[in-house]
Amino acid sequence: MKSYLQELNDVQRAAVTNTDGPVLVIAGPGSGKTRVLTYRIAHLIEEGVAPWEILALTFTNKSAKEMKARIAKVVGDKADRVWAGTFHSIFARILRVEADKIGYASSFTIYDTDDSKSLLNSIVKEMNLDTKVYAANGVRSRISSAKSNLITPKAYKENKELLLQDKMSKRPYIHAIYAKYMERCKKAGAMDFDDLLFQMFRLLHQNPDNVVEKYRKRFKYLLVDEFQDTNYLQYAIIKKFVKYENSPENLCVVGDDAQSIYAFRGATIDNILDLEKEFKNLKTFKLEQNYRSTDHIVQAANELIKNNQKQIPKKIWSDKGEGQKIQVIQAITDKEEGKRIADVILEQKNRYHIKNNEIAILYRTNSQSRIFEEYLRRYNVGYKVFGGLSFYQRKEVKDLLGYLRLTVNKRDEEALKRVLNYPRRGIGKTTIDKISAMAAETGKTMWECLQLVKASAKAITAINNFIKAIMSFTRKAENSNAYEVAILVAKNSGLIAEMQKDQSLEGLGRIENVNALLDGVKEFVENDEIIDEATMPDKTLTSYLQNIALHTDMDSQVEETEFVTLMSVHSAKGLEFKSVFVVGLEENLFPSFMSMESKEGLDEERRLFYVAITRAEQYLTLSFARGRYKFGKLRNDQPSRFLNEISPQHFDASLSVGGSMNLSSSKRQERISSGVKGNFKRRGTVVAPKFAVDPSTFKPDSPAKVQAGMKVLHLRFGEGRVISIDGAVDNRVATIMFQGIESPERRIMLKYAKLQIL
């Protein structure tokens, strides 16, 4: 047996060696999915398949890079010749070659989200529609959904159901905006991210005898990672490659229906659930051994997900021992939740010597990070919030990229509008609006209209100088690599000189960002990787722009080690940590209130929680707050239903939490564990407050009436007794002993307090 096959368990080995025909690999969390996928490709090569005859589609560039690195350990340099990349990057590459067949130039621009939104805003204004009603984000999402379901502008206009939905949302002209948007993208020689799929399908659909046959012959084996995250359009393209008369159907898809969490992006769980109906000879292999987590975590995940009816049955298991039981923290408010989580992190670091980079706090919404950041800062614990502004979304970076895009594609309307008067050169908004209007009226591009517009002599001179500069950049790009062009553009556009005027810390930071971008171009040019035997490395500016346009947020994150990770559960998919905190487990938060309208929505929230808890290797802590501030008001919350779907045997013995307990009861007294056992001085038994205070019925009394000895009710702390009052008349401070909370003695300034006298 070949050495790499000996590293696999029996089911993994079968999934790797059954290379012919359609194969479905159901890969539970931590089951060695990536190893199976990469070893399968390596095995194909070892069995004599040419590397360039293998196409592997992933969802991130990082995954594709990791895949190639692992394959190389088995087969060496041949791994470089495998076609491995994201759906978007692979299809963009094919579209560059075949663009003329669908009426595009090979140098087409790829519009990012901001470009698309800017163009949509322009169209909405030109149509004299309300920009608040037709907000760019909402319209873009609607158009994206249409493309993902292969609905053209014409089909959209004829679809009565879609038109009715738009009418109900008071946006009856979305179909017209969609049509104009597609026309403008075509005129600008641009495709947005959805177009890289939409136009790819169109290319294949309209050219069955030449293009389709060409790539069917080239790609003898097709593999798809994270198949549960594919949408209708991606699956339609996959079938174009592998499903036809007398096809061997050499398709291998790897995924887990229990981790399908991207319906909001258009992912269709039915693709993986119904695969057997589409491919009658499908072989299915279930990877059920979990190599990541201990048994309490794994079994809790099994118990949770069995509540979803629509799924492929499986039962994951672990041989890593029982491990620590799951800890549950109940807090009075979200602020206390933040403090208690920070306390446990410190204890775990001290007791178990867990490093910052081995800890993650996962939440349902990004807005929850603030309180955890606050307490981690107080405790001097390094952390990093993921999901912030991407490097490529920073203004100074986008400005330079705008010049570079215009250099290779004069029809790029969004790039032109961005840089035409930046740095300022005397081309005012009125002139730019005239150019834009002329382009819309005549059907010409904005670039063509630059030389036709009537404006002041100063503006005309500035426009002519701008045209000369861009044309000089274009001439440079014709016979120079991307870095040589980028350096010329950065200097001669005036961008660097403009930024050097600002010597503040922020200004210096912007210069550093531009230098970092130029360093990235340099690195791109000096990379000698050969993609496949027929294509030598392309170092042109066009190739570089395509490369960075396809970056995802996770791909561009800096690799660091000494920080606690804070991120949404969606962002955490595919990651693992020694200790995981899943926070904010309350009804209407996790599960989200938006999921309550349908069984499908609730099932997806449960899959999301399943993903969250299976990120943990050894320590899993779940937390919820009885009260959480919303829009400035403290709101009573009920614990998440998902907590009741896990058996009590998997929770810490000191907790009365689980299926046998009604977690929605606020009258039970529960002991709250810190999550750490050992020789630490334990905090006293902490009893959950009654917290039966409903903010809508709570009636605070005048502070002047509060006297020592009175029993009072406080919104957050519950019931207490006033021990003493001191201070001047205007600044009276009450010392109150509350019941059942940690640190029960509190000093409260009465003029700010809200207390109800009992």
Helix axes 193-206, 136-148, angle to 10 degrees: 30
What the block records as the tokens of 116 is: 């698309």
Active-site pick, 17, 19, 34, 638 = 34
- The reply to whether 117 belongs to the active site is no
195 catalytic? Reply is no
The question of whether 637 is a catalytic residue gets the answer no
Alpha-helical (H) ranges within 274-423 are 275-278, 295-305, 334-352, 369-378, 395-408, 413-419
Respond yes or no on whether the N-terminal peptide bond of residue 591 is cis (omega within 30° of 0).
yes
Considering only CA atoms, which of 101, 343, 114, 319 is closest in space to residue 203?
101
Rounded to an integer, what distance in angstroms lies between the CA atom of residue 403 and that of residue 401? 5
Active site residue 458: no
Which one-letter DSSP state was computed for residue 120? H
DSSP string, 234-255: HHHHHHHHH-STT----EEEEE
Can you read off the two tokens belonging to residue 597? 């309208």
Q: Say how far apart CA 474 and CA 524 lie, in whole Å.
A: 19
The residue type at 591: P
Reduce the DSSP state of residue 312 to 3 states and report it: coil
12, 13, 33, 70: the active-site residue = 33
Catalytic residue among 98, 192, 195, 225: 225
The answer to whether 398 touches 578, Cβ cutoff 8 Å, is no
Beta bridge partners of 286: 26
**CB 312, CB 26: distance < 8 Å:** yes
Residue 234, both tokens: 């991606």
Query: Which 3-state string (H, E, C) describes 619-676?
Result: EEEEEEEEEEEECCEEEECCECHHHHHCCHHHECCCCCCCCCCCCCCCCCCCECCCCC
Active site includes 327? no
Task: State the sign of the Cα–Cα–Cα–Cα dihedral 67, 70, 71, 77.
Answer: positive
Q: Which of 98, 112, 192, 226 is catalytic?
A: 226
C-alpha 415/C-alpha 315 separation (Å) is: 52
Q: What tokens does 323 get?
A: 């491990």
Query: What amino acid occupies position 633?
Result: K
Task: From the candidates 286, 615, 641, 716, give the one annotated as an active-site residue.
Answer: 615
Angle between helices 193-206 and 232-242 (to 10 degrees): 30
Active site residue 33: yes
Residues comprising the chain, all counted: 758
Residue 206 burial (10 A CB sphere; 0-12, 13-18, 19+)? exposed
Which residue has tokens 């939490």?
A: 657
Active site residues: 33-34, 225-226, 259, 615
